[in-house]
């Protein structure tokens, strides 16, 4: 096990962690390693459900790009950036190796366990936590706050399923760490039900919104019927954010019955969502042939068509796939095809209007959450001493590619250290700890 930046502490304190995802489990490891009694409560029948689902098709745990580039992917508070500096992608990989799970870097820079699976990693981790004395309480849904005991301990109310019966349960702890997730993939337990429970204590929680999500497009019936599910490979997707800055990615997308989704769309979802919020719609530009300049396309379009249909001519000269040809027909006027220069311009900058984000429950992640100003440097709520927050319930945003999981691990670790320091009676910042 990696040496944690903590001090020896008396073991009498009890800590309740609500939420058994990566943030909650990492916090549990830090706190239990300091000798405290840790209980993890989760509404689902077992912990790590969303973590396991994220691993379907390949467990992308983090990303191996340069640290400055890595940190630039986040729209986040200074608290989270400090956490990521303290527990970065390399540190996370070393921690995974300490569980006996090897990793490798894929061609895209994404980091995976060697067997590409999440389950072995989770099993090894839970084994370590149980050896540290962590106790798990599944099927415990948090209902809110009880009366504090002598203004020292914190009282929590749960609805628990025990012996095929639902009972109300009260738990008392010296410190509480909330790691309840956002509001995506609600069937796995992240439903945002915690939001009013913090707002009733005057904690500012910014509205949860979909991130890494698909978008609605008003397709024609023909395109929907013939091309829903078709991949759009090798394109550059770009948009202008609400500050007038252009963002672009070389990636891929998928045409869906409702609109468009996929890796490239997720990477731009923050900018597109903010456009829709401010303007009612968003404009996505697609370069269908990023490897060919506009002049080169015009040159090929000026060749004799001979007996080829226009579709066959475009397919032969430009190697346009059926779905790219369909998008051209969908989004350009008929007279565009009569002018090679206009057609080349359309191929290099095909404009698509997005009308809405998909529902938050369909999103890979959510943005919004507990406002940064409500938290100290180690994620304790300023208005609720002894209550800490971590993971996706904090207000931050990041694309897929390992960034989401890394931030959950890092914030859980920092919040866990915050709990340890709180129970000691002192709370040094990460910067102060680095100076020791």
What does the pLDDT look like over 218-236, one tens digit per residue?
Answer: 999 999 999 999 999 999 9
Residue 270 lies inside a defined structural domain of this protein: yes
Block residue for tokens 């978008």: 215
pLDDT tens-digit series, residues 58-101: 899 999 999 999 999 999 999 999 999 999 999 999 999 999 99
Could you read off the pLDDT of 290-328 as tens digits, one per residue? 999 999 999 999 998 888 888 899 988 999 999 999 999
| Domain presence at residue 9 | no
How does pLDDT run across 17-49, given as a tens digit for each residue? 999 999 999 999 999 999 999 999 999 999 999
Instruction: Say if residue 144 is in the same domain as residue 236.
Output: no
- Joined tokens for residue 265: 């769309």
Out of 53-57, 175-179, 332-336, the most confident range is: 175-179
> Is the confidence at residue 348, as pLDDT, over 70?
yes
Q: What is the pLDDT of residues 377-391, one digit of tens each?
A: 999 999 999 999 999
- Which residues contact residue 82 at a Cβ distance below 8 angstroms, ignoring those fewer than 6 apart? 377, 414, 430, 431
49: phi then psi, degrees, rounded to nearest 5: -65, -45
Would the pLDDT of 112 be above 50?
yes
Judgement on whether residues 184 and 232 belong to the same structural domain of the protein: no
pLDDT band at 5 (very low <50, low <70, confident <90, very high): very low
The last residue of one of the domains, among 357, 382, 401, is: 357
Q: Which of 357, 386, 404 is the last residue of a domain?
A: 357
Within a domain: 2: no
The string of DSSP codes covering 173-184 is: ESEEEE----SS
379 and 353 share one domain: no
For the chain, how far is it from start to end, CA to CA, in angstroms? 22
pLDDT at residue 16 tops 70: yes
Q: What are phi and psi of 254, to 5 degrees?
A: -130, 130
Give me the pLDDT at residue 300, please.
93
Please check whether residue 99 is in contact with residue 124, taking contact to mean a CB–CB distance below 8 angstroms: yes
205 plus 225 within the same structural domain: no
Domains of the chain: total = 2
Residue 3 lies in a domain: no
Answer yes or no: do 205 and 219 share one domain. Answer: no
Tokens 């109310």 sit at which residue? 157
| 6 is a domain residue | no
What does the alpha-carbon distance between residue 419 and residue 113 come to, in Å, rounded to a whole number? Answer: 30
Specify whether 33 is located in the same domain as 148.
yes
What pLDDT, on the 0 to 100 scale, is given for residue 152? 65
What's the CATH number where 381 sits?
A: 3.50.50.60
Quick check: is 128 in a domain? yes
Based on the domain organization, do 371 and 423 belong to the same domain? Answer: yes
Taking residue 82's Cβ as centre, other Cβ atoms within 10 Å add up to 19
Q: Evaluate whether residue 75 is within a structural domain.
A: yes
Banded pLDDT at 270 (limits 50, 70, 90): very high
Short-list 73, 19, 51, CA closest to 415: 19
Residue linked to tokens 């045409």:
255
- What is the mean pLDDT of the segment spanning 128-139? 97
Mean pLDDT over residues 372-380, rounded? 97
Do the Cβ atoms of 179 and 21 come closer than 8 Å?
yes
Largest CA distance in the chain: 89
- Alpha-carbon gap, residue 359 to 290, rounded angstroms: 31
Domain hosting 75: range is: 14-210+366-435
Q: Which of 149-158, 202-211, 233-242, 356-365 has the lowest mean pLDDT?
A: 149-158
Q: Assess contact for 315 and 305: CB atoms under 8 A.
A: no
In this structure, the answer to whether residues 203 and 299 fall within a common structural domain is: no
Inform me whether the pLDDT recorded for 107 exceeds 70.
yes
Question: Do residue 152 and residue 29 come from a single domain?
Answer: yes
Question: If we measure between CA atoms, which residue out of 294, 342, 339, 288 comes closest to residue 315?
Answer: 288
| Statement: residue 258 has pLDDT above 70 | yes
Same domain, 28 and 142: yes
Sign of the alpha-carbon dihedral angle for 180, 141, 122, 15: positive
Average pLDDT, the chain: 92
Domain's final residue, options 326, 357, 388 = 357
Do residues 194 and 245 make contact, with C-beta atoms less than 8 angstroms apart? no
Q: Is residue 428's pLDDT more than 50?
A: no
Same domain, 330 and 371: no
pLDDT digits (tens, 9 = 90+) for 183-194: 988 888 889 999
- 145 with 37, same domain: the answer is yes
In a domain, 5, yes or no: no
């Amino acid at each position: 096990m990696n040496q944690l930046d903590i001090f020896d502490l008396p073991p009498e304190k009890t800590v309740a962690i609500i939420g058994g995802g990566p943030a909650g489990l990492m916090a549990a490891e830090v706190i239990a390693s300091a000798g405290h009694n840790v209980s993890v409560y989760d509404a689902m029948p077992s912990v790590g459900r969303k973590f396991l689902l994220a691993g379907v098709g390949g467990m992308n745990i983090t990303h191996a790009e340069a640290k400055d580039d890595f940190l630039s992917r986040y729209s986040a508070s200074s608290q989270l950036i400090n956490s990521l500096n303290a527990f970065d992608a390399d540190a996370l990989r070393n921690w995974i190796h300490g569980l006996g799970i090897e990793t490798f870097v894929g061609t895209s820079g994404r980091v995976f366990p060697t067997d590409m699976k999440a389950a072995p990693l989770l099993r090894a981790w839970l084994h370590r936590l149980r050896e540290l004395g962590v106790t798990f309480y599944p099927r415990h849904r948090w209902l809110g706050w009880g009366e504090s005991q002598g203004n020292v301990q914190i009282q929590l109310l749960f609805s628990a399923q025990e012996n095929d019966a639902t009972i109300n349960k009260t738990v008392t702890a010296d410190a509480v760490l909330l790691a309840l997730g956002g509001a995506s993939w609600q069937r796995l337990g992240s439903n945002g039900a915690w939001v009013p429970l913090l707002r009733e204590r005057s904690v500012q929680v910014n509205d949860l919104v979909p991130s890494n999500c698909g978008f609605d497009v008003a397709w024609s019936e023909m395109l929907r019927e013939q091309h829903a599910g078709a991949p759009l490979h090798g394109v550059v997707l770009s948009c202008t954010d609400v500050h007038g800055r252009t963002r672009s990615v070389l990636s891929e997308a998928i045409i869906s019955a409702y609109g468009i989704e996929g890796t490239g769309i997720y990477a731009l979802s923050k900018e597109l969502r903010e456009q829709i919020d401010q303007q009612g719609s968003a404009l996505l530009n697609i370069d269908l042939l990023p490897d060919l300049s506009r002049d080169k396309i015009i040159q090929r379009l000026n060749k004799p068509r001979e007996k080829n249909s226009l579709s066959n001519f475009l397919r032969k000269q430009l190697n346009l796939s059926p779905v790219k040809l369909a998008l051209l027909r969908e989004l350009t006027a008929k007279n565009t095809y009569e002018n090679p220069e206009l057609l080349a311009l359309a191929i290099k900058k095909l404009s698509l209007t997005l009308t809405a984000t998909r529902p938050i429950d369909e999103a890979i992640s959510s943005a919004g959450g507990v406002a940064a100003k409500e938290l100290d440097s180690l994620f304790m709520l300023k208005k609720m001493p002894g209550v800490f927050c971590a993971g996706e319930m904090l207000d931050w945003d990041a694309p897929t590619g390992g960034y989401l999981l890394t931030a959950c691990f890092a914030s859980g670790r920092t919040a866990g250290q915050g709990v340890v320091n709180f129970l000691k009676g002192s709370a040094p910042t990460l910067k102060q700890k680095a100076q020791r």
